[in-house]
Amino acid sequence: MQHSSKARELCRYPACRLARGRWGRRVGMRRPTGGRRTQPSQEGDPMQKSAVRPMPVTFPDSPLPDVPVDVELRFDTALPYAACLVFPLTPCGCTGSDAEVCWYFSRDLLNEGRHVPTGTGDVKISPGPVGEVLITLQGPDGRAVLSAPEDAVTAFLTDSFTLVPAGSETDHLDIDATLARLRAAG
């Protein structure tokens, strides 16, 4: 959805600004309910699978550090190097009812960051207090530190490495399809 200049001026929700920014990417994927799910990533293609792990996160540096926010970690075999952290957006005049913001980062960054501080760019991951993983997201409007349950992050990584084992990522890349999309885009 394109935002008119008037909508940009009127919308006061930070998540809407993030969704329009270059750091987060708003997508319209269906949000499953419940626990772990693996599902076809493209209709009619049973070999391509995705892992989805819903979990609560908190923002320890915020004024409400104990209030959980439900997010999802997603993995798709079509993007074998990436993990996606998905935030649902509160509907407003700028978003639809199913709008969400996805932060893409390296699956290996998430895996390594559970044990030692990792990352030098927009996403940094480090071990947190016992049973927690800290994920720091840096955007043009500021920084957010999230605390995620370590067991949920580990379960997500187990699911993703079951679908695409470490070292086999290149076997899951479809270079011809990517080139065709790039050529079609112009």
pLDDT digits (tens, 9 = 90+) for 72-115: 999 988 888 899 999 888 767 666 667 888 899 999 999 999 99
Does 72 map to a domain?
yes
Domain total for the chain? Answer: 1
pLDDT in tens, the chain (186 residues): 333 333 333 344 444 444 433 333 333 333 333 344 444 444 444 554 888 999 999 999 989 889 999 999 999 888 888 999 998 887 676 666 678 888 999 999 999 999 999 998 899 999 999 999 999 999 888 899 999 999 999 999 999 999 988 877 777 777 887 788 888 886
Does 179 map to a domain?
no
Does 31 map to a domain?
yes
What are the strands of the beta sheet with 49-57, ordered from one edge? 25-27, 100-106, 82-88, 69-76, 49-57, 37-40
Does 74 map to a domain?
yes
Does 97 map to a domain?
yes
**Tokens representing 154?**
């580990």
The CATH code of the domain that includes 80 is 2.30.31.20
* Range of the structural domain that residue 153 is part of: 22-39+47-165
Look at residues 154, 165, 172, 115 and name the one whose alpha carbon lies nearest to residue 36.
154
Does 6 map to a domain?
no
